[in-house]
Amino acid sequence: MSYRPIKEIGEVYLTDEGMTFHEVSDTVCGVTERKAPRNWWIAFFIAASFTGVLGAAIGYLFWQGVGVWGNNAPVYWAWDITNFVWWIGIGHAGTLISAVLFIFRQKWRTAINRAAEAMTIFAVICALMFPGIHVGRVWFAYYMFPIPNQMALWPNFKSPLIWDLFAVSTYFTVSLLFWYSGLIPDFALMRDRAMGMTGRQGKIRRMVYGALALGWRGSNRHWQHYERMYLILAALSTPLVLSVHSVVSFDFATSVVPGWHTTIFPPYFVAGAIFSGFAMVMTLMIITRAVYGMKSIITIRHLELMNKIIMLTGSLVGYAYAMEFFIAAYSGNEYERYVFMNRAFGPYKWAYWTMITCNVVVPQVFWVKRMRTSIPVMFAVSILVNIGMWFERFVIIVTSLHRDFLPSSWGYYRPTLVDMGIYSGTLGFFFTCFLLFIRWVPMVAIAEVKGVLPQADPHDASVHEEEEESHGGHEPEPEAAE
Amino acid sequence: MSKRKPFPTLPDTAPTAKKVWKSLEEKRDPKPAAEAATKEFISPISLTRRGLLGFGASTAALATSGCLRRPIEHIYPYTKAPEYVIPGVADHYATILPRRGEVVGVLVESHEGRPTKVEGNEEHPTSLGSADVLLQAATMDLYDADRSTDVREKGKKSDWAAFDKAFAAILKTSQADGGARVRILSRPSSSPTFVRLRAQAKDKYPHARAHWFAPVAESGSREGSRVAFGQAVVARYNYAFAKAIVSLDADFLHGEQGALHATKGFVRGRRMDRPSDPMSRLYVAEPSLTVTGSNADDRIRVAASDIDSLVRALAAELTTRGVELGAIKDVVATAKPPEGSEAFVKAAADDLVANKGKSAVVAGRRQPSHVHALVHAINTALDNVGRTTSYAPVVDVTEPADLGADLKALADDIDQNKVDVLIILGGNPVFDAPGDIKLAEKLDKVPTTIHLASHFDETSEHCTWHLPLAHELETWGDGRAFDATYSIQQPLIAPLHGGRSAIEILANLTDEAPKGHDLVRTTFRERAAVPSRFEGAWKTAVRLGLDAGSNSVQFEAHATLDEVAAAITKAPLTKPITASNMEVTFSPCNKLHDGASANNPWLLEVPDPITKIVWDNAALLSPTTAKALGIESQDVISISREGSPAIEVAVWIQPGQADNSIGLSLGWGRQNVGRYGNARGFHVSPLRSSKSMDMLDGVKVSKAGKTYKVVQTQDHDRMEGRPLAIDATVDEYKANPNFVLFPGDRKEEVDIGPLHRELERPGSVTPKTQPLWDRVKYEGHKWGMTIDLNACTGCNACVVACIAENNIAFVGKEQVFRGREMHWIRVDRYYVGESEENPEVAFQPVACVQCEEAPCENVCPVNATIHSEEGLNDMAYNRCIGTRYCANNCPYKVRRFNFLEWRGPEGAQQRVQDMYQDIPETEKMAFNPNVTVRMRGVMEKCTYCVQRIEEAKIGARRESRAIAPNEIKTACQQTCPADAIVFGDLNNPKSEVSRQNRSDRGYALLAVLGTHPRTTHLGKIRNPSPALRKHAKPSEVKREGGSGETPK
Amino acid sequence: MNPTSKKRVALYLAQYDTTAKVLHAAEKVRKAGYTKFDAHTPFPVHGMDGAMGLKDSPVGWIVFFSGLTGVSSALLMMWWMGGVDYPLVVGGKPGFTLPSSVPIMFELMVLLSAFGALFGMLGLNKLPRHHHPIFESETFRSASDDKFFISIESEDPKFDLAETKSVLESTHPTTLEVVEEPMDEEKDEASEEHHA
């Protein structure tokens, strides 16, 4: 199917009026061709140094053992899994924007889906780190894979952790394919623009982008298969994104730990994931938009639409929190009841109420249009939501574990410097990757944006009647006609 | 089509005779030994498995600890195999280990000449097969890497040759004046050889003088018995027959002499197999909550100094009930019981009278002599003598009544330059001595001081000569148990550091050759009835560890009431303890006792049975007192009293502590004992006074303005109304035998397979939803365990036994603070009932309950924990990658994770604060070669001592017989003095475990989760006095009906 | 162009500057009976498939079968490993259990489907191909930017320099050129360089 100019959403065009195809190419590709602005270098330096911290902390962790973290008995999982779930959640928004909105024909996605997908990939890399490094004997982590070994044992496919392994690695692979396939036409454009360039830079760009473009020549016979593939990948990613966080939630939901053992977890986790993901996209978009003057492509309208989603999903998780309490009370299960009272009023109440404030209360400001459309407000909110969602995972994991069935074994968890080092390190790593991405890769899906420009519609008044009917005869793709 | 059966196992007809007696029989006649030697070749299993593990623990240990170092240097084949030693097959030797003034008979397991584990000696009346915390930790004392290794002269390395020469010279010179200027300071000893040699020395040096000192002594009881009976005796109570027991500041289940024996009897008197069974009632009045107090049916908090008035009041009450106390009647007529104990005294009196001849009144060692005398009188008057109480003579009749005074005398003599030569045989007097004696500076004045000690300790620093003392497992010796059983101590290993024993040093003052073996034989020969049969008698005595029938010297003694009356009249009542007149009490630490084992990491890390504090001691205050003084737990206070220096000690607020009474425990704050024990806890001896060693009133308390981190293994004390350690009163039990169940929950036989039916065991509502699959049927062995909460006294012996058996690592205070202790079995201590000041206590030992539908297994991604064909929940260490998911999902929280390399190579160990980098070579010798030593990053947990199960199965296969019903004993079960733990085959109807498993008190912990545990807990029964409630004003009733923890 | 290397006509290339024009042109060319022709656009132009008379894309089928492979191989793996090769009693459950296998079956299905989709597409498009004669044209570089092209290859049976030219001219292209390619394969790279 192909794009039509935006009549679906309101009566507004998604890009500034009168933008030509070439201007789009210039604005986006220009970023990668000009020298990097000073702010980029500053940001990159900071991010990179945190990546260094990550390396050091992980090295220390491997040398000494998990004991350098604050994890203890009974809180055997703490920041490690908290960070894992948090990062995975963030990743989900990317897939959601590129896949789900695509299926629902939300054309406004085109401005942000590329960056969102990139964010997904980097976030998932950060997430994947934790299952790897949090095990006691890293050098044996490969036991988790179904490969023959000296003990002739196979993994335990009944363990949610194994489901997790398959789900997350699948998720990573599919996201990567999806992202790359979307990039092929744009790489072709970069290649062709590089043709004009001279000197070593031009040569390198020609070779690299040329290789990545796979010799794409915009042939319509290719576009036909390409679009079908893209549609299918989107159709696959949509259930995938739902399944991944459901499986992640199984890690908790299938256990016996009060506070974990809950059927509401899958939908609740998915909502939370979208919530935090959109917040993170928002943060990144606002920054890049400011740094690279993309205001004409990433318009306020895009951001407002995202804020609406943030408000919706925020209310969804709020509902989930309430529902958990109701079920605990209604179940009559003393352990379940205790855990939830303990969450709200126990030693970790500060974490719980931080979570409630950031996730449920704050997003409600978006009921007001002025708030929805004010850059500073939405930036602040997006940050707060990310904090809140981190605390959600912390609350679920730590407060449930630290007081479970036998009071004799209750404990309290305190993080160590290494915990913090590794968490901030992953943040650094994430932003390093993202900065490299906006430096070298078109951060907006150029071909798709062009597709939604008004002049992309062959059925403008300028076209003669006979063409109208002649091509009206065979409308190949039903879903193209809304 | 399956290539592999789920459980590939060897054909198994069941287990072997108890290893213990096997080795002894072998000694009796050599034939079985010869067979055994050949059997080794019959059974390939023993050759491969045992053979591999057998040669040296550190080999096996380190080899399995992730190839961190290669096991090269320790593997030696038996090129010249010693007779009787089958590589990999442990031998057991009977011997004794000394206690304060007594000895306890033990069996020591030895692998290729390496003692690895201490167990009780079933034939020895003092242990009856069980052992306590200190005994279980004895091997770690033996392998203590900081034990003194050299003779030292003025602190500089020397050797025995030099010392012998010097010593001979000294003795020669001092012989001139008959040794007038020679003093011998030793601890009270129950060793006939020691006493004999000292007597001989006395003959040779008529003017030499002996002194006695020990930080914890029996002074009061000895003197009391001398008053009551005219001679010093050791009282022995038969708690099994006593229906009413009144303990006055006596921790007879833990701190007093003969505690193991007492516990056995006490528990036997309270077994409840059915509601109709009789049950004894225990009244306890004490200042600090003790193990005994926590097992009391009715307990009140009374300051130690007020016990005197309480016992007088009790006597008065008894006389009013027609008990004949002669002259005492008038003396105590006017006695008033301490504030708040009136009802208690009345109720106790009622019960004592009602159970005349079936009761026992016990006074604690710390109480003054006239209290003991009065107690003896009461027992006499209640016709208990010969029924529940009997008496045995003391070994060392010359021992003075008041050791504090005796040490003071020595100090004064030194001041008056009456001492040239001071020989200190064992003990650490400088550390232990009361503050007012200032022994250290006194010692410096003595020209020649000789100190025999296991460590170069606080005392050695002030002595001319330091001599390394050999451990009891390294030397010959003997001793009399508290019931006068004559017991032999045989060495299991040559002295590791070339030390000598006290008798070997003492022998130098006699004409006998300083050879431990000969000295002991001589003593034995002297008392052997028929010299011709000496050799045979000797062999038997050594084998059994005791001279059978030697405790027949026990006798019945009847107190002379007039003497007692006189003693009481002479002893004025002390000022009652109030906020203005606070007292401190000194008791031996529940773990370290007097501090001789202060460098034993096993003991340091095992939690105190009551406070659950590890790696420290603390001053115990009652909540009220603490509030009055404005003190919080972990504040440091300074305690002072005129006449002695002030001490600083951290506070712990302890329910059950008497108001205005501060509980201090001895043995902590060592400065010079070794890597683990140095600067742990607080040294309290300086506050003591030679006049009154064990309790002082009129102390001043002030805040020191500091705080000190005190670490517990269990920091939440309440059950939060959950049905965990379920208890009921006898009446509640009679009314509802199934009190452990929820209403409407029935125990029913459910058919889970063709072969056998199993008993569903709800501890609360069992899940009604059916599982998706049929339950697995275990048709061969089906190992199971029962833990009787009614028997468990909470002493923690099982914990240390498990540590010793399963090579469990210690992690240090900081790591315990992070909740990373590694104990496979723990004793949960819950406070029950409304009262914050004086709650009831419920102990609940929890190890892995071996769930049949184990939550931990489902979540392990790598199949590292799975079920064996006998239903054991197995851990495959070398498969574990350490996701810790299993531990999260274990509702019992019994899984332990090696967060760091607790005993690994350098570097890793640095993480474990205040630990050394690498495990010392000697400590490696303590490893049990049959158990893998776990590395960093691996999960571990209780295995039901699978190595013992396999050993039994192999033995049974060899002899092609079935495993006997109660043949296999787990380490915790074996050591338990209360027989609270029973292990066995649930599929074998003849086994004790299958019998107890069906007890109506039995319930599955957290059954609501449908985990189907193999371990069944038996509910606790309390027997509170109805009389007490009758007498009490409502305010005093501390217990309304049930504990509130039983499911309603 | 490099005169020394031997050339041969590869295709006609007509350039247009609106989507409508190129759509119209594609119509014409198809009507004129050409089969080996193609449209080159910076983004998929709506209705172009119809204009060129393309059949429905078979990518869906490829995905379907690779997905099927995913599910079945996952099921087979877990059944054999857990139920046949090394059955263990885990939490009192049988060696192989269907319910706990569902998540992994789903994940593997998605994974293989995704591979099927991307590589199926590349296969059908015979990509990657870096040396298509059309790259010889300098004007073609804007095909990925803002211009639209129709190309008719010389392999087309109806291809004839004169006639094809007239057909294309009738569609009012902004430019029209004959693209030649060097006959010598290994020269290929060099000449492309030269053009750059």
- Quick: pLDDT tens for B185-203: 999 888 999 999 999 998 8
Cβ neighbours of residue B57 closer than 8 Å, sequence gap 6 or more: B111, B114, B116, B807, B924, B925, B926, B927, B928, B929, B933
Q: Do B862 and A73 touch (CB under 8 A)?
A: no
Q: pLDDT value at position B26?
A: 42
pLDDT at C106: 95
Name the percent of chain A lying above pLDDT 90.
51
Q: Region A393-420: what's the mean pLDDT?
A: 92
């949090």: which residue's tokens?
A134
Does B716 sit within 8 Å of A407, measured CB to CB?
Answer: yes
- Residue A476: its pLDDT value, please? 40
Q: What ranges in A138-198 are assigned the alpha helix state H?
A: 160-196
Q: Is the pLDDT of residue B53 over 50?
A: no
Largest interatomic CA distance in chain B: 94
User: Residue C39 — φ and ψ, nearest 5°?
Assistant: -110, 140
Instruction: Write out residues 473-532 of B within 8 Å (CB-CB) of A.
Output: none
Q: Do B859 and A255 touch (CB under 8 A)?
A: yes
- Pairing between β-strand B873-875 and β-strand B865-867 as defined by DSSP bridges: antiparallel
Residue C36: pLDDT above 70? yes
Cβ–Cβ gap B893/A409 under 8 Å: yes
Q: Is the pLDDT of residue B586 over 70?
A: yes
SS (H, E, C) C35-56: CCEEEECCCCCCCHHHHHCCCC
Query: Which of A 143-172 lie inside 8 A of C, CB atoms?
Result: 146, 152-158, 162-163, 166-167, 170
> B952, B991 in Cβ contact below 8 A?
no
pLDDT digits (tens, 9 = 90+) for A293-302: 677 777 888 8
Residue B744 has pLDDT above 90, yes or no: no
Compare B761 and B312 and report the one with higher pLDDT: B312
- Determine the straight-line distance between the first and last CA of chain B, rounded to whole angstroms: 52
Distance of CA A286 to the CA centre of its chain: 16
Instruction: Say whether B714 and A409 touch across the interface (CB within 8 A).
Output: yes
Task: Calculate how close chain B gets to C86, using CA atoms only, in Å.
Answer: 6
Q: How confident is the model at residue B32 (pLDDT cuts 50, 70, 90)?
A: very low
* Distance between B718 CA and the closest CA of chain A, angstroms: 7
Contact indicator for B812, B1005 with CB cutoff of 8 Å: no
Residues of chain A neighbouring B716 (CB-CB closer than 8 A): 407-408, 410
Q: pLDDT value at position A97?
A: 79
What is the band of A421 on the pLDDT scale with cuts at 50, 70, 90?
Answer: very high
Which residues 192-211 of A have a C-beta within 8 angstroms of C? 192-193, 195-196, 206, 210-211
Which residues sit opposite B712 in a β-bridge? B613
Grouping H, G, I as helix, E, B as strand and the rest as coil, residue B372 is helix
Chain A contact probe: residue of B611, B841, B893 with most A CBs at under 10 A: B893
Residue pairs between chains A and C whose CB atoms are closer than 8 Å: 246
Q: Where are the beta strands (DSSP E) in A81-170?
A: none
pLDDT (mean) for B411-415: 90
Handedness of CA B125, B128, B134, B140 (dihedral sign): positive
**For the residues A77-95, what does the mean pLDDT come to?**
90
Find how far residue B330's CA is from the centre of its chain: 42
Q: Which helix (H) or strand (E) holds B362?
A: strand B359-363
> Which residues of C have a CB under 8 Å from any CB of B?
84-95, 97, 99
pTM for this one?
A: 0.86
Alpha helices in chain C (DSSP H): 19-31, 48-52, 59-78, 102-124, 161-169, 187-195
Beta-carbon separation of C52 and A221 below 8 A: yes
pLDDT class for B68, splitting at 50, 70, 90? very low
Contact call for C131 and A156, based on CB within 8 A: no
- Average pLDDT in chain C: 86
pLDDT at B900 (0 to 100): 86
Structure tokens at B1010: 């449908």
The minimal CB distance from C127 to the residues A215, A473, A475 is found for A215
The pLDDT confidence band at residue A400, using thresholds 50, 70 and 90, is: very high
pLDDT at A431: 92
Q: What is the mean pLDDT of residues A154-171?
A: 93
Average pLDDT over residues B551-568: 82
Give, for B229, the enclosing helix (H) or strand (E): helix B219-229
Q: What is the pLDDT of residue B378?
A: 92
A72 and B937 within 8 Å at the Cβ level: the answer is no
Q: Decide if B716 touches A, using CB distance below 8 A.
A: yes
Amino acid B1032: pLDDT: 63
B820 to chain A, any CB pair closer than 8 A? The answer is yes
Q: In angstroms, what is the C-alpha Rg of chain B?
A: 29
Question: What is the least distance, in Å, from the CA of C18 to any CA of chain A?
Answer: 8
pLDDT of residue B66: 44
Q: How far is A62 from chain B, CA to nearest CA, in Å?
A: 10
Strand partners, B983: B785
So what's the pLDDT on residue C70?
95
Over residues B776-791, mean pLDDT: 90
Whether residues A243 and C100 touch (CB distance < 8 A) is answered with no
The overall average pLDDT reported for chain B is 83
Q: What is the pLDDT of residue B771?
A: 67
Tell whether the model's pLDDT for residue B806 goes beyond 90. Answer: yes
The reported pLDDT for the residue numbered B917 is 54
CA pair distance B801, B133, nearest whole angstrom: 8
- The stretch B377-388 carries a mean pLDDT of 90
Token pair, residue B315, equals 């006597």
Please indicate if any CB of chain A lies within 8 Å of the CB of B714. Answer: yes
Give the count of beta carbons closer than 10 Å to the beta carbon of residue A55: 12
Nearest CB to A334; choose among B722, B830, B844:
B722
Of A103-107, A181-185, B758-762, give the lowest mean pLDDT range. B758-762
**Percent of the residues in chain B that have a pLDDT greater than 90, as a whole number:** 38
Q: Which residues contact C16 (CB under 8 A, 6 or more apart)?
A: C22, C25, C147, C148, C149, C150, C171, C172, C173, C174
CB pairs under 8 A between A and B: 176
Higher pLDDT, B401 or B638: B638
Burial of B37 (C-beta count, 10 Å sphere; 0-12/13-18/19+): middle
Nearest to B794 by CA among B591, B633, B1023: B591
Structure confidence by residue, pLDDT tens digits, B135-148: 999 999 999 888 99
Give residue B918's pLDDT: 64
The shortest C-alpha distance from A163 to chain B (Å) reads 9
B with C: how many residue pairs have Cβ under 8 Å apart? 47
CA dihedral sign, ordered B262, B264, B270, B276:
negative
The pLDDT of A272-298, averaged and rounded, is: 82
Identify which of B4, B6, B853 has the shortest CB distance to residue C92: B853
User: Which of A283-292, A342-351, B758-767 is predicted least confidently?
Assistant: B758-767
A282: nearest Cα among A266, A262, A261, A298: A298
Nearest by Cα to B124 from B264, B329, B223, B319: B264
Residues from chain B that touch A263, judged by Cβ atoms under 8 A, are none
Task: Give the pLDDT of residue B46.
Answer: 35
Q: Look-up: residue for tokens 């006189």?
A: B566
More confident residue, C82 or A481: C82
Contact at CB, A143 and B879, closer than 8 angstroms: yes
How confident is the model over B476-491, as a mean pLDDT?
Answer: 88
pLDDT tops 70 at residue A468: no
pLDDT at C1 over 80: no
**Rounded distance, CA A405 to CA B719, Å?**
10
Which tens digits make up the pLDDT trace of B318-364?
A: 999 888 888 888 888 888 888 888 889 999 999 999 999 999 999 99
User: Which residues numbered 319-348 in A keep a CB inside 8 Å of some CB on C?
Assistant: none
Dist. CA A78–CA A364, nearest whole Å: 30
Say yes or no to pLDDT of C41 above 80. yes
Cβ distance A25 to C146 less than 8 Å, yes or no, reads yes
The pair of structure tokens assigned to C162 is 């004169």
Give tens-digit pLDDT for B634-688. Answer: 999 999 988 778 899 999 999 999 999 999 999 899 888 888 888 889 999 999 8
The length of chain C, given as a count of residues: 196
Q: Which chains reach chain A with 3 or more Cβ–Cβ distances below 8 angstroms?
A: B, C
pLDDT band at B79 (very low <50, low <70, confident <90, very high): low
Q: Which of B922, B797, B809 is nearest to B471 (CA)?
A: B922
Q: Do C89 and B866 touch (CB under 8 A)?
A: yes
The minimal CB distance from A73 to the residues B876, B893, B935 is found for B893
Q: Could you tell me the CA-to-CA distances from B959 to A134, B326, B645, B993 in Å, in that order? A: 49, 66, 67, 24
B896 contacts A256? CB cut-off 8 A = no
The predicted structure's pLDDT at residue A7: 39
B709 contacts chain A (CB < 8 A):
no
Mean pLDDT computed over B551-570: 83
Q: Of A347-361, B686-700, B1000-1014, C122-136, which one has max mean pLDDT?
A: A347-361
The nearest CA of chain C is from the CA of B892 a distance in Å of: 15
Do residue B854 and residue C92 have CB atoms under 8 angstroms apart? yes
**Cβ atoms < 10 Å from Cβ of B276:** 9
Return the residue of C nearest to B867 by Cα: C89
Model pLDDT, residue C117: 94
* Cβ–Cβ < 8 Å for B557, B101: no
Q: What is the pLDDT of residue B944?
A: 94
The pair of three-digit structure tokens given for residue A157, joined into one six-digit string: 């496919």
Q: CA-to-CA distance for B53 and C135, rounded, in angstroms?
A: 74
CA-based nearest residue to C85, from B8, A154, A151 = A154
Distance of alpha carbon B216 from alpha carbon B594, whole angstroms: 7
- CB neighbour burial string for B227-236, b if at least 16 within 10 angstroms, e if fewer: bbbeebbbbb
What residues in B contact A134, CB-CB < 8 Å? 883
Other CB atoms within 10 A of residue C31 CB: 12
Count other Cβ atoms within 10 Å, centred on residue B383. 14
Of B860, B876, B888, the CB nearest to A255: B888
d(CA C115, CA B831) in angstroms, rounded, equals: 62
Q: Which of A364-368, B765-769, B883-887 shows the lowest per-residue confidence on average (mean pLDDT)?
A: B765-769
What is the 3-class SS of B704-738, one letter each residue? EEEECCCEECCCCCCCCCCCCCCEEEHHHHHHCCC
What is the percent of chain A where pLDDT is above 70? Answer: 91
| DSSP symbols for B660-690 | TEEEEEES---SSS-TTTTT-S---GGG--S
- Taking the CA atoms of B617, B619, B622 and B628 in sequence, report the sign of the dihedral they define: negative
pLDDT of B437 reads 86
Q: C20: nearest CA in chain A?
A: A458
Is residue B264 scored above 60 in pLDDT? yes
pLDDT of residue B672: 86
